[in-house]
Chain A
Amino acid sequence: MRTAQKVLVIDDDEVVGRSFDRVLSEKGYAVSTALDGEEALEKCGSEEYDVVFTDIKMPGMDGLEVTKRIKAKCPWTPVVIITGYGTAENEAKAKVLGVSGFVQKPLTPEMIEGITAKALLEKAEPAAAQEEEMAGEVISRLPEVEEIEGRLKSVARFVKNVALLIAAPFLGLAYAIAFPFIGLGVAIMLGIRAWRQRSRTV
């Protein structure tokens, strides 16, 4: 059986930790939270985490200092900065420390899920990613290749956007038509669940 991947969220705002917990627990991650740098380092000392999220502005030790210490101890652990006060200076400092991501609050549940998956993927395939990066660097040194690659990417993005835009109203219409049926189904399901619970208590 696969063990749950461990995530540590460091933020002095409890709500942030709770939000990560709610989003990631649903997806099978084991989420721990810490309210400051000291608590986080203590937790990192006793347990190994697969990915760490940290805020920058915290009382006592700031997120960059926490990152530095975690990276010194376990350089393979991906650390992602989550901040509401993202400055270019902080971002540059974070990059120097080798963070896996620097994201601005507010975060949607999809973003939380996405950056966690990305950070874990980087951890799982560092060698492959490095090789790919090196190969990419060699190829992208050619300016023509870079230009063509850029053009192709923007054309592909445009085509995808147009396709999604064309599909959007039809999908929206399908969702709208199915809405009452789905609603009825959910209502029946909730009713059955409530009835079962009630008969169990009686």
Chain B
Amino acid sequence: MRRIYVNPLPVRVWHWINATGFVALIVTGLQIRYGGLIGLMSFETAVDLHNWVGFVVIGNYFIWLFFYLFSDKITVYHPELNPRKYYREAFRQIRYYGFGILRGDPNPHHANPYNKFNPLQRMLYQIIMLLIVPIQFVTGLLLWDVTRFAGAVEWLGGVRVVDTVHVLIFIFFAGFLFIHIYLASLGRTPSAHFKAMFTGYEEEEDEAGEDDPGRKSTRGTGGEPGLAP
């Protein structure tokens, strides 16, 4: 059994703080937005908690950002500049998720510290971590103190626009959380990727794989979409 160190400590710390923060933000967000439907806490408490946790999550994002900015593992987030190659690999991955996984075919992607994500994950996490998350932070910050940021809010089209964007992204993240957890269970064993996010190590059989020399070609060894950024 090979052990591949794919999740360095700062990433693991960031991931679990982020996970906890996201759950708290979703719960308090639901309470703020749909107060009539659920009654877990008062509106004021929900707003206070949402604001505080929001700032923690923003601060935590910079752990992730600085780690990758000053690490050679930043290649994990580098885009594939050759579209032909990208789509070939992406369709191979889709074919695997579509029916290969059900037949026990080998996963075409093998994670390593510099290429942790399969093409679909890479695309998704690039968009999420470098576009959607920052947009959510900015809209959240503007809504936190609308008066202070009145100019910026106005420039973006008013409170209604900023609020709609914030809520739409919130709904997206609430849905993504479930998909993320489900896909994270598609590893070598259902708990493999979860364990890797605590230990840092993904485990892979020693046997050589078909696609890449020296790699095992069993199902789900690394590269599942559940792998956290």
User: Which A residues are CB-close (under 8 A) to B131?
Assistant: 169-170, 173
Q: Within 8 Å of chain A (Cβ to Cβ): is B212?
A: yes
Contact residues, A158-189 vs B (CB, 8 A): 158, 161-162, 164-173, 175-176, 178-179, 182-183, 186
Tell which of B6-14, B26-34, B76-84 binds the partner: B76-84
Contacts of A82 in B (CB 8 A): 213-214
Judged by a CB distance under 8 angstroms, whether A44 is at the interface is no
Write out, one digit per residue, whether chain B residues 116-141 have a CB within 8 A of any chain A CB (1) or not (0): 00000011101101110000000000
CB-nearest residue of chain A relative to B213? A16
The CA of A16 and the CA of B112, in the complex, are separated in Å by 18
Interface presence of B208 (CB below 8 A):
yes
Query: Contact at B112–A172, with CB atoms within 8 Å?
Result: no
Q: Which residues of B contact A182 (CB under 8 A)?
A: 87
In Å, the complex CA distance between A125 and B110 comes to 34
Known: A16-B214, A106-B110, A175-B123. A168 touches B209 (CB 8 A): no
Interface residues of B (CB under 8 A from A): 68-70, 74, 77-79, 81, 83, 86-87, 90-91, 110, 112, 115, 122-124, 126-127, 129-131, 206, 208-215
Q: Which of A20, A169, A175 is in CB contact (< 8 Å) with B86?
A: A175
Chain B residue nearest to A170 in the complex (CB): B131
Taking CB atoms, residues of chain B closer than 8 Å to A162 are 69
Chain A residues within 8 Å of chain B by Cβ, number: 36
A105–B79 Cα distance when bound, in Å, is 23
Bound CA–CA A158/B123 (angstroms): 22
Q: A16-B213, A168-B130 are in contact. Are A106 and B112 (CB under 8 A)?
A: yes
Roughly how many angstroms separate A173 CA and B130 CA in the complex, as a whole number? 11
Chain B's closest residue to A174 (CB) is B83
Interchain CA distance A169-B79 in the complex, whole Å: 8
Residues of chain A at the chain B interface (Cβ within 8 Å):
11, 13, 15-16, 18-20, 22, 82, 84, 105-109, 112, 158, 161-162, 164-173, 175-176, 178-179, 182-183, 186
Docked CA distance A170–B131 (Å): 8
**Which of B83, B209, B211, B213 lies in contact with A11, CB distance below 8 A?**
B213
Q: Is the interface of A mostly helix, strand, loop or mixed?
A: helix
Q: Which residue of A lies closest to B125 (CB)?
A: A172
Question: Does A15 lie within 8 Å of B210, measured CB to CB?
Answer: yes
Known A-B contacts A16-B213, A18-B210, A19-B212; A176 and B123 likewise in contact (beta carbons under 8 Å): yes
Kindly state the separation between the CA atoms of A170 and B123 in the bound complex, as whole angstroms: 10
Output the least CB separation between A59 and chain B (Å): 15
* B214→A109 contact, CB < 8 A: no
Which of A112, A158, A171 makes the CB contact (< 8 A) with B79?
A: A171
Nearest Cβ on chain B to A49's Cβ, whole angstroms: 18
- CB-CB nearest in chain B for A157: B72
Closest CB-CB distance, B146 to chain A, in whole Å? 27
When the two chains form their complex, are residues A164 and B208 in contact, meaning their CB atoms are under 8 A apart? no
A56 to chain B, nearest CB (A): 12
Some 15 contacts from A to B, beta carbons below 8 A apart, are A11-B213, A19-B212, A19-B213, A105-B213, A108-B110, A164-B74, A164-B78, A165-B78, A168-B77, A168-B79, A169-B130, A171-B81, A171-B126, A173-B127, A176-B127
User: Nearest Cβ distance between residue A187 and chain B, in whole angstroms?
Assistant: 10
Cα(A165)–Cα(B69), bound, Å: 9
Write out the residue numbers on chain A whose beta carbons fall within 8 Å of the beta carbon of B86. Answer: 175
Our pick among B77, B81, B91, B115 for the contact of A183 (Cβ within 8 Å) is B91
